[in-house]
Amino acid sequence: MTKFIRLIKNELKKIVFRKVTIVMVVLLAVIALGYSLLQGGLGSIILDDLFLPTESPEEYCESQIEYYRKELEKIDQYENPEAAKAEFLLEIEAHTIMLNAGFAWDDWRYEQNLPYLAAEAKLMGDSVQYTTLMRIIEENDEVAFFEEQKRTFLLVFANDANRTAAYSKMMEYCIEHEVTPSMSDWRFERVQSYLTNFETVLEQEALIENGFSHNPSTLESARNEAAIALYQLENEIRVNPADSFSNNLFAMFEKQTSLFWDILSGSVGLISLVGMFLIIFAGGTVANEFTSGTIKFLLIAPVKRWKILLSKYAACTLICLPMILILFLCTLLPALLFGASELALPVLEAKGGEVVTYSPFLLLLRDYGSALVSALVLMTLSFALSALFRNSALAVGIGIFSYLSGSVVNLIFSGLNLDIGRYLLFANLDPVAIAQGNGAFPHQSLVTAIIVVVLHMAVFLLTAWDAFVKREV
Domain identity same for 14 and 128: no
- Same domain, residue pair 415 and 273: yes
- Which of 185, 198, 195 lies closest to 111 in space, CA to CA? 185
Residues 125 and 74 in one domain: yes
Contact 285, 383 (CB under 8 A): yes
Cβ atoms of 316 and 379 within 8 Å: the answer is: yes
Number of domains in the chain: 2
Residue 174: inside a domain? no
Do 300 and 363 lie in a common domain? yes
| Same domain for 22 and 65 | no
Do 294 and 440 lie in a common domain?
A: yes
How many contiguous H segments (helices) and E segments (strands) does the chain have? 23, 2
Boundary of a domain, candidates 140, 164, 190 = 140
- Residue 191 included in any domain: no
Is the domain of 279 the same as that of 395? Answer: yes
Instruction: Indicate the helix (H) or strand (E) that contains 352.
Output: none
In terms of domains, do 21 and 123 share one?
Answer: no
Residue by residue, pLDDT tens for the chain (473 residues) are: 777 888 888 888 888 888 888 999 999 999 999 988 887 765 454 445 545 567 888 999 999 999 999 999 988 888 898 999 999 999 999 999 999 998 888 899 999 999 999 999 999 999 999 999 999 999 999 999 999 999 999 998 989 999 999 999 999 999 999 999 998 899 999 999 999 999 999 999 999 988 888 888 899 999 999 999 999 999 999 999 999 888 664 555 567 788 899 999 989 999 999 999 999 999 988 888 888 878 777 777 778 888 889 999 999 999 999 999 999 999 999 999 888 888 889 999 999 889 999 999 999 999 999 999 999 999 999 999 999 998 999 999 999 999 888 888 888 888 888 888 889 999 999 999 898 888 888 888 999 999 999 999 999 999 999 998 876 65
Asked if residue 418 belongs to a domain, the reply is yes
309 and 437 in a single domain? The answer is: yes
Strands (E), 324-411: 347-351, 354-358
- Together in a domain, 286 and 367: yes
Whether residues 14 and 65 share a domain: the answer is no
402: in domain: yes
List the domain range (segments joined by +) for residue 307.
2-26+269-317+359-470
Identify whether 346 is part of a domain.
no
On whether residue 404 sits in a domain, the answer given is yes
| pTM: predicted TM-score of the whole model, two decimal places | 0.83
Q: Are residues 129 and 9 in the same domain?
A: no
In a domain, 369, yes or no: yes
Q: Is residue 242 part of a domain?
A: no
